[in-house]
Structure 1
Amino acid sequence: MSLPESFFDYEACLRACARDERQALLSLYEQESGRLLGVARRIVRDDALAEDIVHDAFIKIWTRAGSFDPARGSARGWIFSVTRHLALNFMRDTAREMPLDEPNIADAGESVSTFDLHDGSGRIHGCLAQLEPARRSCILYAYIDGYSHAEISRKLGTPLGTVKAWIKRSLVALRECMG
């Protein structure tokens, strides 16, 4: 049974993982595995693959817990970032293996060079093309490159609140377009 987020000490669990305390990893697993599975599932759209990614994420959390730096963000955010990056890396690697029939999105920033569009993606390509370039970049940085909102804000030199609003509105627009 998971505790409310405000009562669960993610940083203490990561510090304990760094000291090889297995109970801490079990506590993290019990607290977040369901939500992490949801994140992975939304990205890879395959239950079995999402389960593999969450498994790999917990191995990485266990082995890299000592590298967590609270000055760079929250412990919970770091855990989710590990999972999201693994899922996105899988999708990127899979996309690179598939033949491309469509050109990359023009002027969406340097993140496009790491994201290849593959068969069946024409619809999302068209929807992304309808977004303003800065908003499209925010979406690609967040969901393809795995950057946090704060990282995107720094990268674009745009206020954090603006980046958050752009991403929120752009996701709504993409949902409507894909509808």
Structure 2
Amino acid sequence: MEHLRPVAGAPSPDDGASGPDLADLLRRSGRGDEAAFAALYDASAARVYGLAVRVVRDPAQAEEVTQESFLEIWRTAGRFDPARGSALSWLLTITHRKAVDRVRSAEASSRRETTYEQRNQPVAHDATAEAAEASMEARRVRGALANLTEVQREAVSLAYLGGYTHTEVATMLDLPVGTAKTRIRDGMIRLRDALGVGS
């Protein structure tokens, strides 16, 4: 995908009120309509690439993630359900998952390369306890995220996992900024309650 080098986070030229109906393009792509898929790609590739590059932090890796994401989108377009969220958020959810998988894969590879050195170094008891505690905390956070509504989880994930501002989240989800802020705030309140953290 050598031709695809949009500016990270840059809006697609087709964004805006007169832009294409992504949900309709997804439905048609799900029926094997290649022209609809090409239009979907043109309308959303900049956003997909922008999210990928923010997560993986490497333009070449982000291009590969973008390509993998669109392959997945083509294969699974028939599963898109507009009742569960916007077409753009569905595309970005697939992209985020692919990008995170790429980061985890790179981290696993790096860990394998340093395994020998780590085996030959004593591990302090405190470091082991810290790692165990961090792992348990991560499980608690994942469990708490699962208790959010779909729209809250979507907004919180983009803001805190994707690193987007409230304004960027609002743009990505086609929402007014106030609505995006409310979803993020309500989601964070529910997370705090689920984790037993004080306000």
TM > 0.5 between the two?
Answer: yes
Which runs of no fewer than 5 residues in structure 1 stay unpaired?
114-137, 149-158, 167-179
Return the offset for 1:18: 0.7
Q: TM-score, normalised by structure 1?
A: 0.60
Return the offset for 1:69: 1.0
- Residue in 1 aligned with 2:174? none
Equivalent residue runs for 1:115-126 within 5 Å: none
- Residue in 2 aligned with 1:53? 65
- Residue in 1 aligned with 2:36? 24
- Bigger mean CA offset, 5-14 vs 59-68: 5-14
- 3-state DSSP class of the match of 1:39? helix
1:143 aligns with 2:161: yes
Return the offset for 1:45: 1.0
Any idea what the Cα deviations from partners look like across 1:44-79, whole Å, max 9, x if unmatched? Answer: 111111001101111111110001111111111101
1 CA distance for matches of 2:105 and 2:61? Answer: 14
Against the structure 1 CA distance between its residues 28 and 140, is the aligned structure 2 distance closer, same or farther, given a 3 Å change threshold? closer
- Bigger mean CA offset, 75-84 vs 94-103: 94-103
1:110 aligns with 2:122: no
Kept in 2, the 8 Å contact 1:2–1:31? The answer is yes
1:86 aligns with 2:109: no
- 3-state DSSP class of the match of 2:137? coil
Pairwise CA RMSD of aligned residues? 3.3
How many equivalent residue pairs? 129
- 3-state DSSP class of the match of 2:17? helix
Against the structure 1 CA distance between its residues 97 and 49, is the aligned structure 2 distance closer, same or farther, given a 3 Å change threshold? same
Q: TM-score, normalised by structure 2?
A: 0.54
Which runs of no fewer than 5 residues in structure 2 stay unpaired?
1-11, 119-126, 143-155, 163-168, 170-181, 190-199
Against the structure 1 CA distance between its residues 109 and 40, is the aligned structure 2 distance closer, same or farther, given a 3 Å change threshold? same
- Residue in 1 aligned with 2:21? 9
Kept in 1, the 8 Å contact 2:14–2:43? The answer is yes
Return the offset for 1:139: 6.7
Any idea what the Cα deviations from partners look like across 1:98-132, whole Å, max 9, x if unmatched? Answer: 3388626365341679xxxxxxxxxxxxxxxxxxx
2 CA distance for matches of 1:110 and 1:67? Answer: 28
Letter in 1 for 2:137: A
Kept in 2, the 8 Å contact 1:2–1:32? The answer is no
